[in-house]
Structure 1
Amino acid sequence: MTNDWQRRVDAVWAAADELGDAEVIRRIDELAAALPGDDPRGPFEAGGARDSAGLEVEAEGYYRRALELGLAGRARTEALIQLASTVRVLGRPGEALELLDAIGADAGDLADAVTGFRALALIDAGDPRGAASEALEALAAHLPQYRRSLAAYARGLRDDAASA
């Protein structure tokens, strides 16, 4: 059931633009209900459906439940990123930063996503120079040219932000 269940979830997300928010929520909730109550994938996907629909207050509880139930691996990283984004939108950028920092070395190929969401949270926390620094440092790593220069400017922004 695991592979088939995930395939069906992925199909809902692939068609999300055509389905609309309400239908995505309905279908994800139906799939989540097919899992045992202690399976963290159900609340994780239900939270994502609500978050995608702009229902952050509802999404927060689902994400927290998924994490409490022991969501692991990449899904845990995704849940922490999504929860951080949600609490930032709800006006709690400091908490968003704490959640993103909790990911640490587990970010894997989502490290740049963590950086992007950290930058948004830093802006909301009143640190736009720190946000620009983090975003530029992440970008510099992908450049074929000007990598050293951009990284140095990013460090300068970070140092300026730290001394402010």
Structure 2
Amino acid sequence: MKSWDDRVDAVWADASGEEVGAETIARIDALAAERGVDDARAEFERAGARDSAGYPADAVVLYRRALALGLDDDHRAQCIVQLASSLRNMGEYDEALTVIQCAESLPAGSPYRDAIATVHALTLASSGRPAHGLSVALMALVPHLPRYHRSMSAYAQEIAELDA
């Protein structure tokens, strides 16, 4: 028999490339029910299904619950990205930025650091601070450059000040 994670992955694979709707939510909810309402991972998957189906307000409640119940580092990072993105989509920019600050406690090597920076940049741009958002995006790119770290970092900081 496939593991719970494998079965969740199969639902998401089936939903890939098409609009997520009631069927996907029902399938995820059925899998989540196997783990109970006090399981952080189950709540995270339930949130993701609603988020993908276009119900960000419902997803936000479940993302917050998943974080409160305690997720492993990998799923916690994903939850922060998805929660902040949902809040941004709902126009709750200050809340989204507060959630992004939670990412500071993630391990330094988290593979989601760039995703968090992307949502951070988008949130700043959406909230009327596009130069600061560009600065965040540029700073996320700097470690990936073969050279020019110091100068590009300085330029990014300079650009952030344009919104002041």
TM-score interval for Structure 1 and Structure 2 normalised by the shorter chain: 0.7 to 0.9
The 2-side partners of 1:68 and 1:138 are apart by 28
| Cα gap change, 1:17 to 1:109, in 2 (>3 Å) | closer
1:49-64 equivalences under 5 Å are: 49-64=49-64
Aligned residue for 1:137? Answer: 139
Aligned residue for 2:75? Answer: 75
| Cα gap change, 1:125 to 1:19, in 2 (>3 Å) | closer
Aligned residue for 2:3? Answer: 4
- Could you state the TM-score of these two structures normalised by the residue count of structure 1? 0.88
1:74-93 equivalences under 5 Å are: 74-93=74-93
| Cα gap change, 1:52 to 1:18, in 2 (>3 Å) | same
What stretches of structure 1 of length at least 5 have no aligned partner? none
2:54 is aligned with what amino acid? G
1:20-39 equivalences under 5 Å are: 20-22=19-21, 23-39=23-39
Aligned residue for 1:96? Answer: 96
Do residues 115 (structure 1) and 114 (structure 2) align? Answer: no
Q: Percent identity?
A: 44
What stretches of structure 2 of length at least 5 have no aligned partner? none
Structure 2 counterpart SS, 1:21: coil
Q: Please list the CA deviations of residues 59-97 of structure 1 after superposition, one character each: whole Å capped at 9, or x if unmatched.
A: 111112212222232212211221111111111111101
Displacement of 1:148 in angstroms is 4.2
1:99 is aligned with what amino acid? V
Contact 2:134 2:159 in 1 (8 A): yes
The 2-side partners of 1:99 and 1:58 are apart by 17
What is the count of residue pairs matched by the alignment?
A: 161
Q: Please list the CA deviations of residues 31-57 of structure 1 after superposition, one character each: whole Å capped at 9, or x if unmatched.
A: 001112211111110100111122101
The 1-side partners of 2:161 and 2:19 are apart by 44
Q: CA RMSD in A?
A: 2.0
The 1-side partners of 2:128 and 2:37 are apart by 40
Structure 1 counterpart SS, 2:106: helix
Q: Which moved more, 1:113-122 or 1:137-146?
A: 137-146
| Cα gap change, 1:105 to 1:67, in 2 (>3 Å) | closer
The 1-side partners of 2:156 and 2:127 are apart by 19
Tell me which protein shows more helix as a share of its residues: 1
